[in-house]
A and B are shown apart, each in its own frame.
Chain A
Amino acid sequence: MNTKNLSFRTRSIHVGSNRDPQTGAVVPPIHVASTYVLPGAGEPSEFDYARTGNPSRQRLEQLVASLEGGVGGLAYSSGMAATHGAMMLLKQGDHVIAGADIYGGTYRLLHKVLNQAGIEVSLVDTRQIHRLDQAARDNTRMLWLESPGNPLMSITDLEQCCRWAKSRKILVGVDNTFATPVLTRPLEFGADIVMHSATKYLGGHSDALGGVLVTSQTEILERLHFFQNAVGNVMSPWDAYLVGRGIKTLELRVREQSSTALRLAEFLSQHPRVRSVNYPGLEQHPGYEIARRQMDGAFGAMISFEAGDDFSQAKTMVESTGLFQLAVSLGAVESLIEQPASMSHAAYDREDRLAHGITDSLVRISVGLESFDDLKADLSQALDSMD
């Protein structure tokens, strides 16, 4: 079947899920074999050893590549393994610029792991292009972006940043975990690599761990695959199956969760105990206009807000919800709540955290598939519990 002309949702269901030629199964089998019988000694075969390639993993890679509009993709054992996979394109003495509003784990990888390999790092507010000019060096090789950012939901103009980087021959990688390809496809704006923590919206059910890279260039894909095969941080076929199964409802989930999130953000912004709400779908959000251009019809399902007056009030709030469960991670059917200062962004030094606007009273929610009324009632009673 030629899938090129099919819409996003139809591709989500069918790409990489061709009828199994051997059994006719409507859903392809999960290939668990670690190794493959070869046609002859030294003779090449499509698959030889599962670290190098596996049919179940390959189907997922083709699927995400199609949704992101890339030439190909690679699936990793976790989102961080994928980010690390992309960073392996760098070498000693290279400089990477990353957004200031990024996932704590990426911050840790850059500042506490890659720095040991002699890679230099600058964190920059990527909403302001002149800051990129200030940070750029002769040895700058990569720009790493997140939009919406984590946890402040800052919106970076991907097209503008990609144009800036291209003129300096700097590779652009975008962590598209929050937006998902349903809402934003960074390769269309000129990015070279898109990264996903597939654990989040792609899998969508809090039951698989994985990461994916998709690139717009064959040459980059081949280098990434060389590194992945050498390092071995591949996604298991079981998880690849679950993530692929999750993607079949990706568009439905993301649009529904985003629409609930917008209503919750509006509710929160009216609430007397909420000091500020970060959600790009609110008109007062500084990135609202860019988000409208860059995000396809919705603004995602992540919200952060400042609850109460201090660390302990925010802590009380996140511990008082009934439906929202206190857990890190995001993007699944179950709504989650957390306090970045003590949880997702605890890997930051406190000074860095405060410098980047992650205050002690910041609360982050991942809006799930539950009904709006139930979630609103839950947040409302949790906010009241601070008194």
Chain B
Amino acid sequence: MSTTTTAVAQRGISLKGLTKTFGQGSAAVEALKGVDLDIEPGELVVILGPSGSGKTTLINIIGGIESASSGEVTVAGENLGGRNPADLSGFRRDHVGFVFQFFNLIPTLTARENVEVIVELTGKGDKAAIPGLLDEVGLSDRGENFPSQLSGGEQQRVSLARALATAPDILLADEPTGALDLATGRQILQLLQRLNKEGRTIVIVTHNASIAQIANRVVTVVDGRIDSVKRNAKPADAAKVMW
């Protein structure tokens, strides 16, 4: 085993022969048809694909909110095969942070409390670090505002801070700019890029090819298979991405 493979197995993401089938018999739909992929620690990978290509299924399996039908999934040194829901919940708690297209903030909690509630309910993370997290996402002065008082971009930044609250090894973002305009979308991408530069592994799923410019590697998924893997020698600055 090479040094890189060992590091991937220990802190990164390793997928081998991954398949996922929904339904049974004639109604069965193969969402993933044998995916092999290694993501190294500290990488920023964009998984690109059209609607229905299987990219969201792929990120769900990496994050442990869905189980593969077959194949081997190792994330942050943990094999996710054959685990029960409670185990997977513990895995997510320890290793993964999610950012979704729709922010799903709790409307009755302030921005700060939306982050704090995760620390309280998971028992992971540090409440004292929350002001720092909000500062990191540029919301240090908006912490006491309720979601209804925040813009879409601000809400997505809160969801980003929420994903970081448990200090995850890996950040998984599913269409993080899908509900945002260009300017606010760029702000989110800048944040993700900065977090990556600080050493965090980030996987972004998108159908927006422009976003692929900021990645270290771009994995294109078509019809449940990896169509291509392209390495960006020089990832673009998120502030300059256009779509």
Decide if A and B are genuine partners: no
Which residues of A are in contact with B by a Cβ distance under 8 Å? none
